[in-house]
Amino acid sequence: MTLFEAYPLLLVALVKTGILLFLALTAVAYLSWFERKVVGHIQSRLGPYRVGPHGLLQPLADGLKFLFKEGVEPQGADRLVYYLAPFLALSLALSGLAVIPFGPAEIEIFGVRTTLAVAEVELGLLFLFAITALGVYGVALAGWASNSKYALMGGLRSSAQMISYEISLTLSVIGVVLLAGSFNLREIVAAQQGYWFGAVPRWFLLPQLVGFLCYFTSAIAETNRAPFDLPEAETELVAGFHTEYSSFQFAMFFMAEYTAMVIASCLATLLFLGGWESPLPTTGAFAWTVYLPTVVLGGGGALLLVDALRHHRGFARGVLALLGALLGGAAWAVAQPMILPLVQGPFWFLTKVFLLLFVYVWVRGTLPRFRYDKLMAFGWKVLLPVATLNALVTALVVLLRESGGLAGVLR
């Protein structure tokens, strides 16, 4: 009897972890491509376009480059901590992904029915906050261990920033937790099911609009992204906490930052945007929306195929045609009655996450950077009070609703 026979769930968890890691790392790599493309077009330039058609192989080239570069260790660096920091940053960021449910449906792997999440944690939200809060260690340790003034200041800045914004981040979702009455991410999504007036989704976005804005702003700061990218403020601190890092250690910080972005967007989707719920009712006049995944995939595939004809180099043509064919095949597959209901959840979930990631990039292309002291003032004097007030008002409303009005409370 092998280990896996004794513990079949272990095998399932390992398989799911493997798939998730592969998907997440690919997504992160292509997120960098996406960001460079979008920012490029915002700035009236093309972005990467040399490596592969539309620069599609750029992430691959970047990854290879990082692998083959020499990792330089600064003189006087604290060796153990210096090498531990990027590992800590990336592994903590990735482990946050484990508790995120990507859809409602159960699937079957090797005869074992399981859900679309690596781990089902009862207090998923708390776990996520705990894990992302630990992420500050990677940054602070990197800044300290590098034995460099710029890195030290970057590390200090970002420790202060991440800890400060952690508080408003957590407070801003208290409203959601109160409304849903649970810390379980699945139950929070379940609480957002249904529609007002038959068409407006009952997402927490509307009742918790203030909470959402607070959450998203804090999340941008928490992930050290523009306009709160002070820890790595290129034009002040060279590269902040990772100034001294090169090679794959730098790539690990880079991936950790992007993974944090993905997690923050996933969480915003789950808490405020109804998770995998469709924005339109799938019955009645909107029944056709179940075929949207097919339309999107098929349309994308067709665009790629048409684009393949426009390219003249055989390689670019081949890559584009292959991708187009793959998307077309996927479009056909998701239209099958057996798979159709399975893909609805992940489709809407990923669409919403993608939109939020676009906002991240959009903000970066538009706004100047905050100054350190103003950033702290904004976090403590604006975001925190607003988030607290939001939580208090929500608590009051929930209390009034549950005890049947003011009279009920006073009784």
Partner 1 sequence: MGSTINTPVGTTETLVLNMGPQHPSTHGVLRLVLELDGETVVRARPEIGYLHTGIEKNCEALTYSQAITLTDRIDYLAPLSNNLGYCLAVEKLLGLEVPKRAQYIRVLLTELTRIASHLVWLGTHAHELGAMSVFLYCFREREEIMKIFEYVSGQRMMTSYFRIGGLALEPPPGWLEMVDRFVRIFPARMQEYEDLLTENRIWQMRTKGVGHLRADDAIALGVTGPTLRGSGVAYDVRKAFPYSSYEEFDFRVCTRPEGDCYARYLVRLDEMRESLNIIRQVLERNLHEGPFRAEAPGVIPPSREKMKTEMEALIYHFKIFTEGFSPPPGEVYQTIESPRGELGVYVASDGSPRPFRVHFRAPSFVNLQALPRLVEGRLLADVVACIGTIDIVLGEVDR
Q: Applying CB under 8 A, which residues contact partner 1?
A: 39, 42-45, 149-150, 153, 157, 226-227, 229-230, 233-238, 364-374
DSSP codes of every residue in 135-200: HHHHHHHHHHHTT-HHHHHHHHHHHHHHHHHHHHHHHHTHHHHHHHT-S-HHHHHHTT-SEETTTE
**In terms of CB distance, is 69 or 364 closer to partner 1?**
364
Closest CA to 375 of 161, 155, 152: 161
**In terms of CB distance, is 103 or 379 closer to partner 1?**
379
Q: Cα(318)–Cα(309) distance, rounded to whole angstroms?
A: 10
Closest CA to 360 of 213, 220, 195, 171: 220
Smallest distance, Å, CB 165 to partner 1? 16
Beta pairing partners, 200:
196
Q: Cα(211)–Cα(139) distance, rounded to whole angstroms?
A: 27
Smallest distance, Å, CB 42 to partner 1? 6
406 membership: H or E segment, kind and range: helix 405-410
**In terms of CB distance, is 90 or 375 closer to partner 1?**
375
Q: Cα(188)–Cα(177) distance, rounded to whole angstroms?
A: 7
- Distance in angstroms between the alpha carbons of the first and the last residue of the chain: 63
> Which residue carries 């893909």 as its tokens?
343
Smallest distance, Å, CB 152 to partner 1? 8
Smallest distance, Å, CB 55 to partner 1? 18
**In terms of CB distance, is 349 or 370 closer to partner 1?**
370
Contacts of 251 (CB under 8 A, 6+ apart): 62, 63, 66
**In terms of CB distance, is 229 or 277 closer to partner 1?**
229
Smallest distance, Å, CB 36 to partner 1? 12
**In terms of CB distance, is 309 or 367 closer to partner 1?**
367
Smallest distance, Å, CB 30 to partner 1? 21
